[in-house]
Structure 1
Amino acid sequence: MTRMGRTDPGASELSRARMSEEEFRALYRRLRDQRPWGPGDRRGALNHLTSAGTQAAASEVRLGRTVSLAAPVEGDVTPDNPDPARHLMKGIPGTGRGVAFGMDRIEMNIHGNADSHLDALCHVSFDGELYNGVPVDTITANGATELTVGLAANGVVGRGVLLDIPRTRGVPWLEPGEHVTVDDLLAAEQAQGVRAGRGDILLVAVGHRRRRRERGPWNAAAYRAGLHPEVMPLLADRQIAVLGSDGNNDVAPSVTEKVDFPIHVLAVNALGVMLLDYLQFGDLIRICEEADRWTFLCVIAPLRLPHGTGSPINPIAVL
């Protein structure tokens, strides 16, 4: 397959970047078969994040500054959020004497295209199986019983590495349909003086949130920037623990024939890499540019949903 350069892709370039179903399935089998863990494994790439790695990540804290990587939960109907979260007031304190309480309830679609969330290893099935051959019937109407977000109940804490692809390309954002290549990742590492490695929480900025803020919401389910499937062997070789983006990691329309979410399939299903979708990097990018460094302590704390296929999240970067 021809790799794309770092210029805006035209129609002919997008055509060359497409991956056939046969090519994709060969890549899927290659990544699946190179997993270093046995058939009983249920942690996936979290195995790359060791206690020693977490201790080392703490040394990234030098400024004592914290920044959220989550977007505010939105309640408005927009083209990318047709089923928004509902924040309901269940109790409003009166003005009388004595104790009273304000009471809230929230309802949300965890895996939507607007709110920041984590995808657990039970989120993606392919050819009738979940990660590591776990049967899909482990997901029932009452929730999942295997590979749930409960695997991250104690939090995921490690070194975060942010690669800002629009910055490297010299553009404000990648347009919907554009994709991040291996060349993009390597160029960003060189420009930013970093190298993602074993146990890292890799965050790849495509500028989705900035484009949404400046241009307004659009149908992100149908059109969005993301990663090309060709990047996954590099991330597997680097032993990345978690992958996140300010989009949902996948390009739309898909560049892969008959597979709409190739990154989700390769990351979650083949490699056991939990995904962080629709994060927000604006504040983090500003601090990283000021400090001239792109690594930090990253703390991910999903809700304790024992049977969940994912969770809303508010990851925190500590610099």
Structure 2
Amino acid sequence: MGEVKDVPLLSELLKDSPKNWGKWGADDEVGSLNYLTSLEVIRGVGMVRSGKVFTLQVPMGAPEGDPIWPGRRTAQRVNVMDHSHYQCGKGPHFPGELHYADDMMIMYLQGSTQYDALGHVWYDDQIYNGFEAETTTGGMTKASVLPIAEKGVVGRGVLIDMARYRLKNVLDRGETFDHEDLMAAAAQQGVEIKKHDILIIRTGFIGSFYTMPSDNFYDNFVEPGLTYSPELVSWFKDMEIPNLVTDTIANEVTIDPVSGIALPLHSALMRNLGVAFTEITILDELADDCAADGQWAFLYVAAPLKVVGGSGAPVNPVVIK
């Protein structure tokens, strides 16, 4: 990466990048998730073969810590009521002597497996669909995570295992791939990425968090992932991809190796096309099962928490094969 002065602005990099603003009306707040109609739900349900169920959320509030974007704090769970309160005579009394445990959690809304709100990132003072960036002040009044949570996300999911395709357990730091790599991996797996598919990509990166000390995981932090190109953005637009899901923290390589811009696909895909981003999933068990039975497409179901004004919210996506 060069000096800051050599890095172009997003407005320059994406000046000719396509937008879906207005495609579903001036008030739309769920973007490409509009592609997931009732017919797409039925198509997804039709992928169920064996009834096997996989959940894709990482554990929350683990004692050893959770994978999270550097600079954020992991979720903190605290008991506020448990057996010790009754042992010392301070537990509340109920007729019949019912006792109970209670706790609370303090966390970043994007501090676990989560959906980004479409208004989560922006440039030129406009978020998705042309809403003013001012609408994020004090809580998002436009393109928050709430409309996504209210809609729900159901459709045909397809897993592309880039790590397995490249004969690795986990991709290297900063290792990139593009839509052509995805299609090549899909062909090797014997599956086709189709229009309106929920695109799920395994790199092995989040799984690696649980195999090493956290200091090593965050040292020289640069994630592997998709890398920006006009052709990749056009492919997402033409394929009408509603949702990008990965086992990385940011769904793309941290710093674009050509432009030097941080996270340009957040703007090109989420802000401009309205593609929903799902991040920090754990995909290793699902990938192993797909490799074993040869079924790489399935029913995907998810709904983030209904956080009013939230820029994101935790989610536990469910895959049914």
Asked if these proteins are the same fold (TM beyond 0.5), I'd say yes
Q: Which protein is bigger by CA-based radius of gyration?
A: 2
Worse-superposed segment, 72-81 or 147-156:
72-81
Whether the 8 Å CA contact 2:255–2:263 is kept in 1: the answer is no
Residues 15-68 of structure 1 deviation map (CA, whole Å, 9 limit, x = unaligned)? 9xxx97379845453222687444443221011111111011101111111111
Q: Which residue of 1 aligns with 2:146?
A: 150
Q: Which residue of 1 aligns with 2:241?
A: 240
Q: Secondary structure at the match of 1:125?
A: coil
2:46 to 34, 39, 59: 59
Q: Which residue of 1 aligns with 2:56?
A: 69
2:123 to 120, 123, 126: 126
Residues 232-284 of structure 1 deviation map (CA, whole Å, 9 limit, x = unaligned)? 32122111110010002121233253531111111210110110111100111
1:88 to 58, 78, 84: 78
1:164 and 2:161 aligned: yes
Whether the 8 Å CA contact 1:24–1:256 is kept in 2: the answer is no
Q: Which residue of 2 aligns with 1:5?
A: none
Which segments of 5 or more consecutive residues in structure 2 lack a partner in the other structure? Answer: 90-95
Whether the 8 Å CA contact 2:7–2:261 is kept in 1: the answer is no
1:164/1:28 CA distance change after superposition, 3 Å: farther
Give the AA of the match of 2:284: G
Distance, in Å, in 2 between the alignment partners of 1:315 and 1:220 is: 29
RMSD: 2.6
Residues 168-192 of structure 1 deviation map (CA, whole Å, 9 limit, x = unaligned)? 1112211111111223111111011
1:203 and 2:204 aligned: no
Whether the 8 Å CA contact 1:50–1:199 is kept in 2: the answer is no
Q: Secondary structure at the match of 1:29?
A: coil
Give the AA of the match of 1:165: M
1:37/1:259 CA distance change after superposition, 3 Å: farther
Q: Secondary structure at the match of 2:17?
A: helix
Q: Which residue of 2 aligns with 1:301?
A: 303
Q: Secondary structure at the match of 1:254?
A: coil
Q: Secondary structure at the match of 1:53?
A: helix
Q: Secondary structure at the match of 1:32?
A: coil
Distance, in Å, in 1 between the alignment partners of 2:57 and 2:181 is: 24
Distance, in Å, in 1 between the alignment partners of 2:80 and 2:308 is: 25
Q: Which residue of 1 aligns with 2:92?
A: none
Distance, in Å, in 2 between the alignment partners of 1:150 and 1:33 is: 20
1:110 and 2:109 aligned: yes
Q: What is the aligned-residue identity percentage?
A: 29
Distance, in Å, in 2 between the alignment partners of 1:243 and 1:129 is: 22
Whether the 8 Å CA contact 2:22–2:129 is kept in 1: the answer is no
Distance, in Å, in 2 between the alignment partners of 1:233 and 1:221 is: 31
Q: Which residue of 1 aligns with 2:100?
A: 101
Q: Secondary structure at the match of 1:229?
A: coil
Residues 141-198 of structure 1 deviation map (CA, whole Å, 9 limit, x = unaligned)? 2x11111111122421111111000111112211111111223111111011222223
Q: Secondary structure at the match of 1:170?
A: coil
Aligned residues: 300
Distance, in Å, in 1 between the alignment partners of 2:38 and 2:105 is: 35
Q: Which residue of 2 aligns with 1:185?
A: 182
What TM-score comes out, normalization by structure 1 length? 0.85
Q: Which residue of 2 aligns with 1:229?
A: 228
Whether the 8 Å CA contact 1:121–1:131 is kept in 2: the answer is yes
Distance, in Å, in 2 between the alignment partners of 1:290 and 1:269 is: 37
Distance, in Å, in 1 between the alignment partners of 2:106 and 2:43 is: 38
Give the AA of the match of 2:17: R
What TM-score comes out, normalization by structure 2 length? 0.85
